[in-house]
Amino acid sequence: MQRMFMRRVGLALLLMLAATALTFWLVTAAPGNVAALIAERAAGAGADGEMIAKIADDLGLNDPLPLRYARWLGDALTGDFGISLRTGKPMAEEFGERIPMTLALLTGGGVLALVLSLAMGIAGAASNGGGIDRVLHGMALVGASTPNFFVAAMLVIVFSVWLGWVPTFGVSGLTSWLLPWITIALFPASVLARVVRVNLQDTMSRPFATTGFAKGLTRGAVLLREALPNIAIPYMTTFGAQFTLMIIGAIVVERVFGLNGVGAFFIEAIRFRDFIGMQATLTLFVVFFVSINLIVDLLAMLADPRLRRPRKA
Amino acid sequence: MTAPIYQVEGLVIDLYTPTVSVRAVDGAGFHVAPGETLAIVGESGSGKTVMTLGPLGLLPEGVAVDLRGTARADGKDILAMSPAELSRLRGGFFGVIFQDPMSALNPMLKIGPQLAEQARRFAGLSAAEACKEAVSLLARSGIPDPEDRYDRYPHELSGGMLQRAMIALALAARPRVLIADEPTTALDATVQAQILALIRQIQKEDGIAVILITHDIGAVSVLADRVAVLYAGQVAEEGSAIDVLTAPVHPYTRGLLASVPDFRSDSASGTKEIPGIPPNQAQLEAGCRFADRCDRVQPQCNTRRPRLQTVGMGVVPHRVACPVVIAAEGIVTHD
Ligand SMILES: Nc1ncnc2c1ncn2[C@@H]1O[C@H](COP(=O)(O)OP(=O)(O)O)[C@@H](O)[C@H]1O
Ligand code: SF4
Ligand SMILES: [Mg+2]
């Protein structure tokens, strides 16, 4: 267990390293010249080749790529992600302002996806082929195949424009979070509801479920007390994957609902060829991806008694 | 003879899956009295499990079950019960031991607390008493160091120990009828005898009714008071263990016993399998189900379905569904 734990952590660190190196390479290889951009910003149209060359030299842009990556990594490890070419503010400061927004979006969406998927999956399994099961199956199919920008548009039209219940733009108070949360949670909730439903059904036909019935439990009790713990592991793993994918949803949702988060910043960074901003944001995404998956993996390991307490030889 | 505590008659069970529909049980019945052990024997697929667990609603999900006949537990019609009533009966009145303890025990649940819960719910013990009872049930089932095993998960115990835990679990609710569905099939040969001895000991001590499903004729001869031989969802022969094992009448029973190595001293000449395979239960035909494989088959066997006839004079009725052998060997019937 301990060794498996250390291996996972080591693997995660390696993964982060490889992924940041890859993004660094891609971002620097992208068309566009950082030095030219900086020169332009400083001197307007007056920027000439000499000035650009000097800036490039000062920034070490002419050094070999591995060296530049190593330098970037050293800075990043101390929390220095450079200065955004677009806003002129240190990235650490940008993050400080924006991460809480994105975190609130993801956390709310994650909790909603968790609650919805468990409720839908369990209700479906309880109904077991009945009307509720079929309706929920249909809903999950629709939810998993509707693009989130469309969902967002529909929600805004109905709840903001027609009913006027929530603001169309920006956040003020809890109700304004509802539409972004629903939008971002719909897809993962639908996928996860199917995971719950299918795994529960599979588990209910296993011999130990029959033992549960033989113990005198009702079907509902077998479902919740015997079957549900057995789907914890596949559920947690899929939940981790879906939760990390929500960061991609956040890019769209933040734009649509005018939330000043990291996702919205990323889009702007691309539009303005803010290479520093792009690299910093992508790094943040990578760290988020890898660490969430790591945490979920470790939690899943802890949830499985066979891994938590391996049989002594 | 004590009155039966669990009695099934004229049971017909059809199973439907998306791909097949079979009549798994075709007019079979059995009964068992307190303190009595009934063995149900027959080849695999003959309907032993479906016949015994079907009326309790214990067939795996995913197969649709159509069930007719009567099944009375302590005089109550269990087929007419509501799901909640049947649940209570399953938990308290019946104790079930399954074939493979490795898959029959929930890998995510500790052994002891499950026992304690059964004792609390069905034997009316307080939480503290139930916990003690669970430990003593484990001890009684022959599990060493029961306090330690109480907190163990199934994967931490060997197959034999798990089956003992399964037995303890089945007993925790203090059932009146213990059903053991091939309780030793999945276990090492060395452990099998111990598990059977444990079941016998429990039966002696508690005086409960035991239904032992097995194809281990040796186990039948050691444990059973009565035997029912099942073939293709029908009872071919039933009676006291002595009658059925030493004076079998039905050609299938005779074949089954002849295929057991060293069961009878005169079988030293070697064992012989019953040739052929059981009939396809998806296709129902008139006549004797065994006709295709029977060495005594007569033309009328294919058209008339044999019914059980009582033979011999024993206190325990010995009943056989084969008019051909009964007539050919001049066996007296009376019913
Ligand atoms: N889950 C199931 N799905 C489909 N058919 C089944 C299922 N369980 C049992 N059957 C069928 O019912 C018949 C009796 O099976 P079973 O009672 O398990 O036999 P036994 O316990 O004597 O080995 C067999 O023909 C088998 O194919
Ligand atoms: S009825 Fe006929 S086929 Fe059936 S067991 Fe007897 S002799 Fe064989
Ligand atoms: Mg069976």
Q: Which residues of A touch B98 (CB under 8 A)?
A: 207, 210-211, 214
What is the average pLDDT value for chain A, to the nearest integer? Answer: 89
Can you name the residues that pair with B94 across neighbouring β-strands?
B177
- pLDDT value at residue B267: 43
The alpha carbon of B222 and the centre of ligand 1 are apart by a number of angstroms equal to: 27
A182 and A112 Cβ atoms separated by less than 8 Å: yes
* CB B290 near ligand 2, within 6 Å: yes
Residues in chain B within 8 Å Cβ distance of A201: 61-62
A68 and A109 share one domain: no
Q: How close is the Cα of B15 to the center of ligand 1, in Å?
A: 8
Kind and range of the H or E run holding B142: none
3-state secondary structure of B311: strand
**What pLDDT score does B310 carry?**
95
State if residue B42 touches ligand 1 by the CB under 6 angstroms criterion: yes
Helix (H) or strand (E) holding B41: strand B37-41
Q: Average pLDDT, stretch B182-193?
A: 89
Q: Is the CB of B255 under 6 A from ligand 2?
A: no
Cα(B2) to ligand 1 centroid in Å equals 32
Question: Whole-angstrom Cα distance, residue A102 to residue A250?
Answer: 7
- In this structure, the answer to whether residues A60 and A125 fall within a common structural domain is no
Q: Are the C-beta atoms of residues A59 and A34 closer than 8 Å to each other?
A: yes
Q: Both A49 and A117 in a single domain?
A: no
Burial class of residue B114, CB neighbours in 10 A (0-12, 13-18, 19+): buried
pLDDT tens readout for residues A227-280: 999 999 999 999 999 999 999 999 999 988 889 999 999 999 999 888 899 999
Domain count, chain A: 2
Does residue A313 form part of some domain? Answer: no
Distance CA B7, CA B75 (A): 8
Nearest CA to ligand 1 atom 16: B47
Closest by Cβ to B104, choosing from A211, A305, A311: A211
Average pLDDT score over residue span B286-311: 92
Could you tell me if A183 and A287 lie in one domain? yes
Q: What is the pLDDT of residues B194-211, one digit of tens each?
A: 999 999 999 999 999 999
Interchain contact, A216 vs B121, CB within 8 Å: yes
What CA–CA distance (Å, rounded) separates B13 from B10? Answer: 10
Centre of ligand 2 from the C-alpha of residue B257, in Å: 17
pLDDT digits (tens, 9 = 90+) for A202-240: 999 999 999 999 999 999 999 999 999 999 999 999 999
- What separation in Å is there between the alpha carbon of B237 and the centre of ligand 2? 12
Chain A residues with CB-CB distance to B61 below 8 A = 128, 201, 204-205, 209
Same-domain check for residues A25 and A69: yes
For residue A21, tell me if it sits in a domain. Answer: yes
Kindly state whether residue A132 falls inside one of the protein's structural domains: yes
The rounded distance, in Å, linking the Cα atoms of B155 and B167 is: 17
Query: What distance in Å separates the CA atoms of residue A189 and residue A70, rounded to the nearest whole number?
Result: 40
Same-domain pairing of A271 and A136: yes
Residues of A in contact with B96 (CB under 8 A): 211, 214
Inform me whether the pLDDT recorded for B39 exceeds 90: yes
> In chain B, whose CA is at the least distance from the CA of A203?
B61
**Proportion of chain B above pLDDT 90, given as a percent:** 77
> Looking at the predicted structure, is the pLDDT value of residue B70 above 80?
yes
Which atom of ligand 1 lies nearest, measured to the CA of B52? 17
Instruction: Give the per-residue pLDDT at B265.
Output: 44
Q: Is the Cβ atom of B234 under 6 angstroms away from ligand 1?
A: no
Integer Cα distance of A220 and A285 in angstroms:
40
Report how many Cβ contacts below 8 Å link chain A to chain B: 93
The 3-class secondary structure across chain A, one letter per residue, is CHHHHHHHHHHHHHHHHHHHHHHHHHHHHCCCCHHHHHHHHHHHHHCCHHHHHHHHHHCCCCCCHHHHHHHHHHHHHCCCCCECCCCCCEHHHHHHHHHHHHHHHHHHHHHHHHHHHHHHHHHHHHHCCCHHHHHHHHHHHHHHHCCHHHHHHHHHHHHHHHCCCCCCCCCCCCHHHHHHHHHHHHHHHHHHHHHHHHHHHHHHCCHHHHHHHHCCCCHHHHHHHHHHHHHHHHHHHHHHHHHHHHHHHHHHHHHHHCCCCHHHHHHHHHHCCCHHHHHHHHHHHHHHHHHHHHHHHHHHHHHCHHHHCCCCC
DSSP B195-259: HHHHHHHHHHHH--EEEEE-S-HHHHHHH-SEEEEEETTEEEEEEEHHHHHHS--SHHHHHHHHT
Q: Let me know whether A125 and A214 are in one domain.
A: yes
- pLDDT of the residue at B220: 93
The CA distances from residue B250 to B288, B291, B320, in Å, are: 12, 12, 6
Note whether A204 and A290 are same-domain residues.
yes
A177 & A235 share domain? yes
State the ligand closest to the CA atom of B45. 1
Asked if B108 lies within 8 A of A214 by C-beta distance, the reply is no
| Range in A21-35, A240-254, B13-27, B38-52 the model is least confident about | A21-35
Instruction: Give A-chain residues touching B105 at CB under 8 angstroms.
Output: 208, 211
A217 belongs to a structural domain: yes
CB contact under 8 A, A217 and B62: no
Q: Is residue A83 part of a domain?
A: no
How many angstroms separate the CA atoms of B242 and B248, rounded? 9
B322 lines ligand 2 (CB under 6 A): yes
Q: Which of residues 149-178 of A touch B (CB under 8 A)?
A: none
pLDDT, tens digit, 9 for 90 and up, residues B219-242: 899 899 999 999 999 999 999 999
- Select from B245, B297, B247 the least CA-distant residue to B276: B297
* Residues A111 and A259 occupy one common structural domain: yes
Q: Look at residue A86 and tell me if it is in a domain.
A: no
- What is the reported pLDDT for A2? 80
pLDDT tens-digit profile, chain A (313 residues): 788 889 999 999 999 999 999 999 988 877 777 777 777 777 776 677 788 888 888 777 788 889 999 999 999 999 899 999 889 899 999 999 999 999 999 999 999 999 999 999 999 999 988 899 999 999 999 998 888 888 888 888 888 888 878 776 666 777 788 899 999 999 999 999 999 999 999 999 999 999 999 999 999 999 999 999 999 999 999 999 999 999 999 999 998 888 999 999 999 999 988 889 999 999 999 999 999 999 998 999 899 999 888 876 4
Return the pLDDT at B268: 43
- A218 contact residues in B (CB cutoff 8 A): 83-84, 87
Residue B168's pLDDT is: 95
Last residue of a domain, one of A20, A44, A77: A77
CA-closest residue to ligand 1 atom 25: B45
Q: Indicate the helix (H) or strand (E) that contains B25.
A: strand B21-32
Beta-carbon separation of A205 and B62 below 8 A: yes
In the numeric block, the tokens 């490795």 are attached to: B102
The helix/strand/coil state of B283 is: coil
Confirm or reject: Cβ of B50 under 6 Å from ligand 1. yes
Q: Is the CB of B297 under 6 A from ligand 2?
A: yes
B201, B136 Cβ separation under 8 angstroms: no
Instruction: Give B182 Cα–ligand 3 centroid separation in angstroms.
Output: 7
pLDDT of residue A313: 47
| pLDDT value at B148 more than 60 | yes
Q: Which one is predicted more confidently, B262 or B303? A: B303
Output the domain CATH number for residue A272.
Answer: 1.10.3720.10
- Give the residue numbers spanning the domain of A179: 91-308
Instruction: List all residues 6 or more positions away from B218 whose beta carbon is below 8 Å from its beta carbon.
Output: B260, B263
Asked whether residue B264 carries a pLDDT value surpassing 60, the answer given is no
For residue A85, being part of any structural domain is answered with no
pLDDT of residue B59: 92
B127-140 and B111-122 helices cross at what angle (nearest 10)? Answer: 120
The pLDDT assigned to B281 comes to 65
Tell me the pLDDT band of B1, cut-offs 50, 70 and 90.
low
Q: What ipTM was reported for this prediction? A: 0.91
What is the rounded average pLDDT for all residues in chain B? 91
Is residue A235 in a domain? yes
Q: What is the pLDDT of residue B304?
A: 87
What is the token pair recorded at B250? 């039905």
Note whether A162 and A254 are same-domain residues: yes
The predicted pLDDT at position A247 comes to: 92
Indicate yes or no: CB of A216 within 8 angstroms of CB of B122: yes
Quick: pLDDT tens for B109-126.
999 999 999 999 998 899
Interface contact A212, partner B, CB < 8 A: yes
The pLDDT of residue B262: 56
Which of residues A24, A55, A77 is at a domain's end? Answer: A77
For residues B271 and B260, give the distance between their C-alpha atoms in angstroms, rounded to a whole number: 6
Q: Is the pLDDT of residue B269 over 60?
A: no
